[in-house]
Chains A and B, each alone.
Chain A
Amino acid sequence: MYIIVVGCGKVGYPLVRGLLASGHEVLAIERDSHRAEEVSERLGSVVLSGDGSEATALAEAGAKRCDVLIAVTGLDEDNLMACQVAKHRLGVKRTIALVNDPQNETLFKALGVDVTVSHTDFILAQIEEKLPTQPLVHVMPLRERGRQIVDIRIPPDAAVVGKQLSELELPPDILISLVIGKDGTPRLPNGDTPIESGDEVVAVTPIHQEEALLDALTQAR
């Protein structure tokens, strides 16, 4: 595949390196000419010094024949414009944008960016996971569907400990997808699956039911 990466900073640089290693044809566009030079020295002549949100730079990079354009600068406005110019002026079929501010995600999708990636969500999930007292971790948002995959740890004093899944009173529209035991063994749950202290329950929940689900699984006896 021929892939154009706009922005060769903290996200762009390892991305370009990884894509090259997987055998793709890659060209990065970097606005800061010093940075472009630095990256060229390390990765070879795969960097174009220029503004990736400008039609001229994108055309020079051969955007017309590229399969995917990935915009990963630190500025949402630059990422959006790179994708819009690529798509509407140069006919790029697939555009992917990094969204630095999660509030821009819905808009980007509505405006024709094919895929958005929000590192804020991932960082938040990782931090939640590292906090020992945090019973709920956001694994992944399924945003267009208004749902979220969550991972909830069952506290020792929870009312649900010792009950079977079918006995639980859960909010509507929730799918328990996986139960991971304290020793790390995952179990595909059914109605008879018992809930034990220290289990991790992975569930798909409507975003507005998240709190209710957390309460249902963690409330003390």
Chain B
Amino acid sequence: MKVLIMGCGRVGAMVATQLAEEGHEVTIMDPNPESFRRLPQNTGVVALAGDGTDHEVLRRAGIESMDVFVAVSNRDTLNALAAQIARFTFHTPRVVCRLNDPTRQEIYQELGLEAVSPTQLVSQMILDAIHR
């Protein structure tokens, strides 16, 4: 699979590394090149400095031939915009979007985006741990 990831924070870097280890072709982009320090050496992940909502930058990153687009920056609004650009402008077959706010996650899920809410997942895990 060819995967394009927007946002090289801890989540982005971890997803990128894992996918690359599984043998997928991974490109990761982030406006701040400093963030690429989070990627371990020799993973084969292609790192690209740039804005993940700019059409030209996305084209250069090869969005038109990607199977999956993942929006995992730390800003919900940015992730939602980038994910919708990938889905509706470039017709990427599979789009996954991180939305910290569970209400937003619900709304975008209803709008047909595959949205994941870390807040909801972590809260649930903590509750499960307490109740165990």
Which residues in A have some Cβ–Cβ distance to B below 8 Å?
Answer: 53-56, 75-78, 80-81, 84-85, 88-89, 101, 103-104, 106-107, 110-111
Contact B104 A54, beta carbon cutoff 8 Å: yes
Given A77-B77, A111-B88, check contact A88 B103 (CB 8 Å): no
Can you report 5 residue pairs joining A to B where beta carbons are below 8 Å apart?
A84-B80, A101-B54, A103-B54, A107-B88, A111-B88
Give bound CA distance, A166 to B96, whole Å: 57
Residue tally, chain B, CB below 8 Å to A: 21
| Chain B residues touching A, majority SS | helix
CB distance from B117 to the nearest CB of A (A): 13
Contact B81 A80 (CB under 8 A): yes
CB distance B103 to A89 under 8 Å? yes
Known: A84-B111, A111-B84. A77 touches B104 (CB 8 A): no
Q: Is the CB of B88 within 8 A of A53?
A: no
Q: Which A residues touch B82, using CB under 8 A?
A: 77
Q: Which residues of B contact A75 (CB under 8 A)?
A: 77
Give bound CA distance, A85 to B84, whole Å. 14
CB of B94, distance to nearest CB on chain A (Å): 19
Contact A76/B80 with A55-B107, A89-B103 known, Cβ cut-off 8 Å = no
Q: Cβ of A110: which chain B residues have Cβ within 8 Å of it? A: 88
B53–A77 CB distance below 8 A:
yes
**Interface residues as binary, B36-53 with A (CB distance below 8 Å gives 1, 0 otherwise):** 000000000000000001
B110 at the interface (CB under 8 A from A): yes
CB A175 to nearest CB in B, in angstroms, measures 31
Q: Is the CB of B107 within 8 A of A80?
A: no
Binding site for A on B (CB under 8 A): 53-55, 75-78, 80-82, 84-85, 88-89, 101, 103-104, 107-108, 110-111
**Bound Cα distance A107, B103 (Å):** 23
B104:A81 contact, CB within 8 angstroms: yes
A103-B55, A107-B88, A110-B88 known; A76+B81 contact, CB < 8 A: yes
**Bound complex: CA of A168 vs CA of B97, how far in Å?**
55
Interfacial chain B residues near A88, Cβ < 8 Å: 107, 110-111
CB B43 to nearest CB in A, in angstroms, measures 29
Do B104 and A55 touch across chains, with their CB atoms under 8 A apart? yes
In the complex, which of the residues A55, A77, A103, A111 contacts B103, with contact meaning CB atoms closer than 8 Å?
A: A55
Report the nearest A residue to B75, measured CB to CB. A77
| Chain B residues in 8 Å Cβ range of A85 | 104, 107
Complex alpha-carbon distance, A70 and B103, angstroms: 21
How far is A100 from B103 in the complex, measured between Cα atoms in Å? 26
Report whether B85 and A81 are in contact in the complex, using a CB–CB cutoff of 8 Å.
no
- Alpha-carbon separation in the docked complex, A178 to B101 (Å): 52
- Whether the pair B80, A77 counts as a contact (CB closer than 8 A) is yes
Please name the 6 residue pairs, one residue from A and one from B, whose CB atoms are nearest each other, closest first. Answer: A77-B81, A77-B77, A81-B77, A55-B103, A77-B78, A78-B77
CB atoms of B77 and A80 under 8 A apart: yes
Residues of chain A within 8 A of B54, CB atoms compared: 101, 103
Q: A54-B104, A84-B107 are in contact. List 7 more A-B contacts (CB 8 A).
A: A54-B103, A55-B104, A76-B53, A80-B81, A81-B76, A84-B108, A104-B85
Q: A76-B53, A107-B89 are in contact. Are A89 and B107 (CB under 8 A)?
A: yes
